[in-house]
Structure 1
């Protein structure tokens, strides 16, 4: 069942840090144990969620009415919120079906129109690099190398970078004399 309501999730440390700044006490989630939940905290958290939801609704109102037959995927936005000098905390906004459709309408209006038939769309270029091995050797070892020398290596999982950002690891396999990357896993 699709979610029709937009959901805003603000991390509890963010609310506590805002309360600390507002009411003049110190709270550091890395060092302090979180206090028991109070009615004031619940009220402030609800007010923050309402404020974020209202700002989102105001921005999306420019999309105009959405057709009842509009089928869309649900969009989710993940961000970091920093209060003062504290570490950033997570903010998650999961758009409901109506807000997702409004967002898509706004995006479609901002895209330049395609000129039919004149230009083929260009493929998306992605720089993919795989680091298969890093080995540290001494200068003495390098001086002893000669033609035909063999450096023993242990091939582990390769790190794969997309557009310069390390994103994946992969197993390296050999097939018909060629190396292949397989069994990809995301880096955490």
Structure 2
């Protein structure tokens, strides 16, 4: 006799930051920003230094907590945080200057290809300045792409400025874009990270949200009794006549009647009684009373 192990089902954990928001449209935004970065690499780095940096993968998710070092950039009242893995930065540095330079050395142009970066080399001010400049350029790309999504044209683009050299952790509402890059000539690969603050993510999600018909919104906000449509039918009178009298009626004959209270019905249900009055040539119902 064998004991069957209980089946364990995996459950999807719902992130409350994503509920009711058009996060399913963020993939299109991420692809547009990836194209912006790819164009930047192609025109500003590969073509100028005869390098071969390319984007291999991209992800865009709600930012997890972390304790790594970030470069931070202010843009209006929000921030973009940037990080690049050192092998990529050193490879770019050597393409730019020919080799990793001491702080006191002047740039030296070299046609020789850069050696494979060594991450155990001490960090220099030149490397730090290059990382700061690259972070500002890519942060500006992210801000411009978000501004391009907004329905109303941006008259004054946000100015992106470097603010601090380190940031710890992650705040609620931040999202993390991870770009996996490789430089195929020298077999260097790594990640570039852009962490977008809640302020800029709120602007992006509001811009991505589909526009709603305001008339429908107004209708939906009315109380239920105001939205429920019913047809009232008034029965003015009833008169009983015999079959013989009905058969004896001829053109011009008159049936004597008197108009009293009318019955007010919805469908076949008699709900009210009402008096019949005349107003500007029209018959109106007044003095409605509930039927016991």
Q: Tell which structure's C-alpha radius of gyration is larger.
A: 2
TM-score normalised per structure 2: 0.31
